[in-house]
Structure 1
Amino acid sequence: MPIYEYQCQACQHEMEALQKMSDPALVACPECKADKLVKKISAAGFRLKGGGWYETDFKSGGSKKNLAGDAGSSSGGGSSSSSDS
């Protein structure tokens, strides 16, 4: 469930409310009891970072990173194993 931010237009009290998206907006201020609560617009509380769909599929430029960290799957030749003998 998302957290919504509200501000009272009468007393400027600010609050947060955990509500379902289908719940009606709150209108009564818990501080001054006036029906002047207005839902504020705020940024989302999560961030997509690290490896994952964005990093591997949609990020522009360069070659794709080896997210598994497998040393043997890189295309630079061998460094630790040699079969000369």
Structure 2
Amino acid sequence: MPLYDYQCAACNHQLEALQKISAAPLTDCPACQAPELKKQLSVPGFRLGGSGWYETDFKTGTKKNLAGDNKPD
């Protein structure tokens, strides 16, 4: 489930909410109870890795081309 950032237009309270993508956006501020919460645009804080991803993703140095390492010189 993604994390969404919200900010209240009435009191400027900020919060993060863990919600399903299909869930309706939050509207009521937990600090001042005003129905003024607005969803903020934010950068995701995750990295895709592990089996199933391209072997060159997030690799550095000599480990970048593992499939090509078995070539004869």
Q: Which secondary structure state, in structure 1, belongs to the residue aligned with residue 56 of structure 2?
A: helix
Describe the shift of the 1:53–1:31 C-alpha distance in structure 2 as closer, same or farther (beyond 3 A): same
The letter of the residue matching 1:53 is Y
Deviations 1:1-59 (A, max 9, x none): 1111100001000001111111100000000110000000001111347xx41727xxx
In the superposition, the TM-score normalised over structure 2's length comes to: 0.72
Correspondence 1:1-16 to 2 at 5 A: 1-16=1-16
The size of the alignment, in residue pairs, is: 64
The letter of the residue matching 2:5 is E
Q: Which has the bigger relative contact order, CA under 8 A and spacing at least 6?
A: 2
- Percent identical across equivalent pairs? 44
Q: Which has the larger radius of gyration?
A: 1
Structure 2, unmatched stretches of 5+, are: 58-63
How far is 1:67 from its partner?
5.1
Higher relative strand content: 2
Structure 1, unmatched stretches of 5+, are: 57-63, 77-85
